[in-house]
Amino acid sequence: MDIDGDAEEASRRIRVRFVTKLKPPYKAPPTSIAIPTNLTRFGLSALVNNLLKAGNADWKTEAFDFFIDGELVRMSLEEFLLAKGISAEKILEIEYIKAVAPRKKEDPSLHDDWVSAVDGSNPRFILTGCYDGFGRIWKTAGVCTHLLEGHTGAITSVCILDPLGSDGRRVVATASKDMTLRLFEVNTEEFQGQLKKIQSFKTLRGHNASVQCIAAEPSGAKICSGSWDCRINVWQANDSDSGGDFMSVKKRKVDIEDEEPKSEGEPISTLVGHTQCVSSVVWPEHETLYSASWDHSIRRWDVETGKDSMNMYCGKVINCLDVGGESSSLIAAGGSDPILRIWDPRKPGTLAPTFQFSSHTSWISGCKWHDNSWYHLVSASYDGKVMLWDLRTAWPLAVIDSHEDKVLCADWWKSNCVISGGADSKLCISSEISVM
């Protein structure tokens, strides 16, 4: 009798079992249940919430995302099974995770001008660069603790050296259109409630045109920068012999505001090869750095020898580049078209991108991999949207449209927030994103 009843409704119902890697309060009973196949992701989410509510009376509704065979469900279950050719006769195992989407939007942190660069690699603070020539350090949304002075042109790129060091003192580097890079030392723990102005302790000169991008070596000993003069310069970040000396010099400088800092740096090596503006550099490992340029190429450089070990042409101007993902080897890049491309350089003999995400409608200005997840990345575009992507689906996980103008930069922060700056002079923080 029971079997007959099932067979009759086989066309519309399917037996599934929900599994998860989440911790106990999120664990659903591992029994299999029959559900209608026309359920979408929202239906499945409601179902799992109901299941959890049955086991736990004071359950708060949570959005979930669902995997079948390692692919995110983005249509009705029936269509998904048909598209993937999965038999509906077996018990289907559906894995669920908490949906990756921002649950909270913090108040925008207002700047005086366009926010051109943002770095969230240190969980204690956010570093932003602005077109008014000042770098800013934000403790949380709307709380600016430090103002980094010194540049005479708009800041184009910022980075925090050795961001996960233990003490509160951090060195940050900024690149600017005035053709220089500046290094600042900030102590994030000494915040007394009022804005503190900091002068740079070192100025790095050597570029012949606006510096477009900057990246620090993982240990923080060196930094590299790409510029409109087609060159990549590698600089020594902090002189080993002067630790406390500089502090004293700097303290003295605080009183004499107008004077330029004495210390200047020269590039220790120059990587030549690009024929147009170097728009983005990444330094993921000690010896290798990646660069992207307006000459349509992405290159991998060996820092010791100064030779490029890989040269990849993609046919479009590239504005942003990041290396991450599976074993930190996938290259994500976006540029002068609305497509975010991801290459796997380990694949031999092909230059075709392995993934292409094309939900944006204008140039992509920034892309960043998540620190811990192999699958998630964030992208910013001139269409005013920030999108969260998962490699397992071609649709964006979430679209953040809190900006009113072009978004110029985006980054992850504290591995559960997305921070983005744009031409509306705002730094937007979207928090409580439960990646993993």
Contact residues for another protein, defined by CB under 8 A: 114, 116, 131, 154, 179, 208-210, 228, 276-277, 279, 294-295, 315-317, 319, 336-338, 362-363, 382, 406, 408, 423
CA-based nearest residue to 120, from 103, 139, 107:
139
DSSP string, 388-416: EEETT-SS-SEEE---SS-EEEEEEETTT
Instruction: Give the nearest distance from C-beta 260 to another protein in angstroms.
Output: 13
Shortest distance (Å) from residue 332 CB to another protein: 19
Q: What is the DSSP string of 168-200?
A: SEEEEEEEETTSEEEEEEEETT---SS-EEEE-
Q: Which is nearer to another protein, 273 or 338 (CB)?
A: 338
Smallest distance, another protein to C-beta of residue 372, A: 31
Give the β-pairing of 71-72 and 32-36.
unpaired
Decide whether 15 or 316 has the Cβ nearer to another protein: 316
Cβ closest to another protein, residue 100 vs residue 333: 333
In angstroms, what is the minimal distance from the CB of 294 to another protein? Answer: 7
Which is nearer to another protein, 333 or 391 (by Cβ)?
Answer: 333
Long-range contacts, stretch 144-147, CB < 8 angstroms, 24+ apart: 144/109, 144/195, 145/188, 145/191, 145/195, 145/196, 146/186, 146/188, 146/195, 146/196, 146/197, 146/198, 147/195, 147/196, 147/197, 147/198
Least distance to another protein from the beta carbon of 395, Å? Answer: 22
Closer residue to another protein (CB): 139 or 316? 316
> What single letter denotes the amino acid at residue 386?
V
The least CB distance from residue 389 to another protein, in Å, is 20
Residue 127 CB, nearest approach to another protein (Å)? 20
Kindly state the smallest distance separating residue 171's Cβ from another protein, in Å. 26
Count of residues in the chain = 436
Instruction: Quote the least distance from Cβ 331 to another protein, whole Å.
Output: 21
Both tokens of residue 33?
């249940």
Measure the CA–CA gap between 223 and 234, rounded to whole angstroms. 6
Considering Cα of 26, then 32, then 35, then 40, what sign does the dihedral take?
A: positive
Nearer CB in complex with another protein: 30/315: 315
Closest to 16 measured CA to CA, from 74, 89, 97 = 89
Backbone angles phi and psi of 220, in degrees to 5? 90, 10
**Quick one: 204 or 303, whose CB is closer to another protein?**
204
Q: Min. distance of Cβ 35 from another protein in angstroms?
A: 44
Sheet of strand 71-72, all strands in order from the earlier edge strand to the far edge:
32-36, 13-19, 92-98, 64-68, 71-72
Q: How far is the CB of 68 from another protein (least distance, A)?
A: 36
> Of 47 and 115, which CB lies nearer to another protein in the complex structure?
115
Q: Identify whether the C-beta of residue 131 lies closer than 8 Å to the C-beta of residue 146.
A: no
What three-state secondary structure class fits 218? coil
If we measure between CA atoms, which residue out of 155, 159, 150, 123 comes closest to residue 139?
123
CA distance 214 to 59: 46
Q: Cβ closer to another protein: 32 or 361?
A: 361
Cβ-based nearer residue to another protein, 103 or 205 = 205
H-run or E-run covering 246? helix 244-255
Nearer to another protein, 229 or 411 (CB): 229
